Amino acid sequence: MKTLTQLKALTFFVCAILVSSAAIAQKMPASPRDSVSGTINGANIKISYGSPSVKGRKIWGGLVPYDKIWRTGANPVTTFQTSKEVKIEGKTLPAGKYSLFTTPGEKEWKVIFNSQTGQWGIKNDGSANDDPAKDVLTVTVKPMKSEGFNERLTFKISNSGFVLLWENLAVPVKVK
**Sequence-separated (6 or more) residues with CB below 8 Å from residue 94:** 85, 136
Q: Report the distance separating Cα 34 and Cα 30, nearest Å.
A: 12
Average pLDDT over residues 150-161: 98
pLDDT of 14 > 70? The answer is no
Q: Which of 150, 148, 139 is nearest to 172 (CA)?
A: 139
Largest CA distance in the chain: 82
Q: How would you class 34 by CB atoms within 10 Å of its CB: exposed for 0-12, middle for 13-18, buried for 19 or more?
A: middle
Q: Which of 89, 105, 104, 79 is nearest to 161 (CA)?
A: 89
- pLDDT band at residue 1, thresholds of 50, 70 and 90? low
Q: How would you class 48 by CB atoms within 10 Å of its CB: exposed for 0-12, middle for 13-18, buried for 19 or more?
A: buried
Q: How would you class 112 by CB atoms within 10 Å of its CB: exposed for 0-12, middle for 13-18, buried for 19 or more?
A: buried
Contact 69, 102 (CB under 8 A): yes
The string of pLDDT tens digits covering residues 57-75 is 999 999 999 999 999 999 9
- pLDDT band at residue 18, thresholds of 50, 70 and 90? very low
Choice between 12 and 97, residue whose per-residue pLDDT is larger: 97
- pLDDT band at residue 30, thresholds of 50, 70 and 90? confident
pLDDT of residue 70: 97
**DSSP character at residue 120:** B
Mean pLDDT, the chain, as a whole number? 90
Average pLDDT over residues 147-168: 97
The string of pLDDT tens digits covering residues 72-124 is 999 999 999 999 999 999 999 999 999 999 999 999 999 999 999 999 999 99
Average pLDDT over residues 39-68: 97
- pLDDT band at residue 29, thresholds of 50, 70 and 90? confident
